[in-house]
Homo-oligomer: A and B are copies of this chain.
Amino acid sequence: MNIAGNLLIGQTTVRGSNGATYAIDASTGERMEPPFGGATAQDLDAACALAWTAFDIYRETSLESRAQFLEAIASNILELGDTLIERCVRESGLPRARIEGERARTVGQLNMFAGVVREGDFLDARIDPAQPERKPLPRVDLRMRYIGLGPVAVFGASNFPLAFSVAGGDTASALAAGCPVIVKAHSAHPGTSELVGMAVRKAVKDCGMPEGTFSLLFGSGREIGQGLVRDPRIKAVGFTGSRHAGTELISIGASRSEPIPVYAEMSSINPVLIFPHALESRGDAIARAFVQSLTLGAGQFCTNPGLILAVDGPALDDFIRSASAALGDVPAATMLTPGIQSAFDKAVSNMAAHPHVKTEARGGAASSPNQGQGVLFSTTAQAFLAFAELQEEIFGSSSLIVRCPDLASMLKLVESLEGQLTSALHIDEEDYEDVRAFLPALERRTGRILINGFGTGVEVGHAMVHGGPYPSTADGRSSSVGSLAIERFLRPVSYQDMPDSLLPGALKSSNPLKINRRIDGKIALAQK
């Protein structure tokens, strides 16, 4: 397939006439062909109209055909082969192995959701049978299932050009839930987006899904991105990006005449707590693992360990020495875009100039344009509590070590933190008793608590929570990774005394879909 720079509005290829933008080769800064035409308000309207028309049909496709559709997207992405990998490497500046791994994850997510759809547990089908003899009043027959919310707008993320973009986690979970998707491509990887978009579009056609099930738009965040969130036909939004852009979209979603959920995953510094025994017994190993996590993918992960908390003392000094040495060995790495790179440099300079912050170490210096140099800072617990700006995320390989006088002040510091995606605890068995006091505070403000690991590397499974209290995400009641993500795009509908022939398959008495259901509140496993 060739990259042509076109919008994909349902099955129609449209040349966007609202200005043109180019991809940038992240490593060289060179402009890449072809130009991408921006969507007009009319293009946006056409995509929304198609999605709206598709919704009622798409959401009632059989579980099997919807599962096959998701699998077809996965297999079409694989068929793009090296064309996709090469373009994605150039646009993102990320190493080939990472992009191949990300493709595997993207395909894996789609296949996992195919399994989730086939099983049908996400429908949460419930039946409370009638009790005509009940006194004082007979009980009606009541049945419930979940349906899709409606068309969903998905924003591609700069740092996951495959796994959180056109056919990434938000799209896969929305499609699995029965919602048509309109993707607003990220300007950092438009060619990658178009290739994947064509793979999705082909699956829509081959699987006989209504054409409005998927559209892909290029264009400005303000015009096309915000325009999508404002459109009355859009009923939910999936976004991964900066806190600034996220809060803007959240506020647009909330101020519509019909407010909608905007699932924005925004910022997190992912505190790492190193407990005294672990620090003493294996500080050096933790330091090296930490630097590896910190510098992975040029630090451009929402789960990047941006904050280390430990009790001050010689063991912490040793830890900092080890981490500094390790960081010194890590060469600078190409960042996703020149904009991200300059924002990183600026934030690092501000941090370095902060009167209460000491620069402990830097990674290898940049050797070509658009590279980010890792950096390690330290400060005191007192300063951290006094200066809110020290808690702000720096997107890239930058981390701040806070020297805490004791565990009590470390806990106090945890209680001062905003909501986080992850928190990581490095502990030995001798630390367990101390850890117990921290768990409630960590549960209250993080979506995932890790032991003796780091948040980078987010497993796509059924028990994963990639979400957390505000501002790490807009809505800590949900996850954007793993099978739980489907729940974001569903709402329950109940049917009272409805004749069997009018009931949806999920609720018919004969259980034609052979799904697990809840009868009078108790799970009744499907007889397969």
Contact = CB atoms under 8 A, between A and B. Distances in A.
Interface of A: 56, 60, 101, 115-116, 119, 121, 126-128, 136-137, 139-140, 142-144, 147, 149-150, 250-251, 254, 258-259, 261, 418-419, 429, 432, 435-436, 439-440, 443-444, 446-453, 457, 459, 461-465, 467, 469-471, 474-479, 483-484, 490-499, 501-502, 516, 518, 520-523, 525
A502 B432 contact: yes
B259 A493 contact: no
B523 A462 contact: no
Contact of A494 (B140, B449, B493, B525): B449
- List the number of copies, as a whole number: 2
B502 A459 contact: no
29 contacts: A101-B136, A116-B521, A121-B523, A127-B463, A128-B463, A139-B459, A142-B459, A142-B463, A142-B464, A144-B463, A147-B443, A149-B476, A251-B254, A258-B418, A258-B470, A436-B502, A449-B494, A450-B496, A450-B497, A451-B495, A451-B496, A453-B496, A462-B521, A467-B492, A469-B491, A477-B490, A477-B491, A484-B492, A516-B523
Nearest to A525: B523
A174 to B, nearest CB: 14
A446 B492 contact: no
A272 to B, nearest CB: 13
Contact of A477 (B140, B258, B261, B446): B261
A399 to B, nearest CB: 20
Contacts of A436: 502
B452 A479 contact: no
A440 B448 CA distance: 38
Given A144-B464, A477-B149, A523-B516, A494 B137 contact: no
Contacts of A439: 502
Contacts of A461: 128, 139, 142, 520-521
A419 B493 CA distance: 12
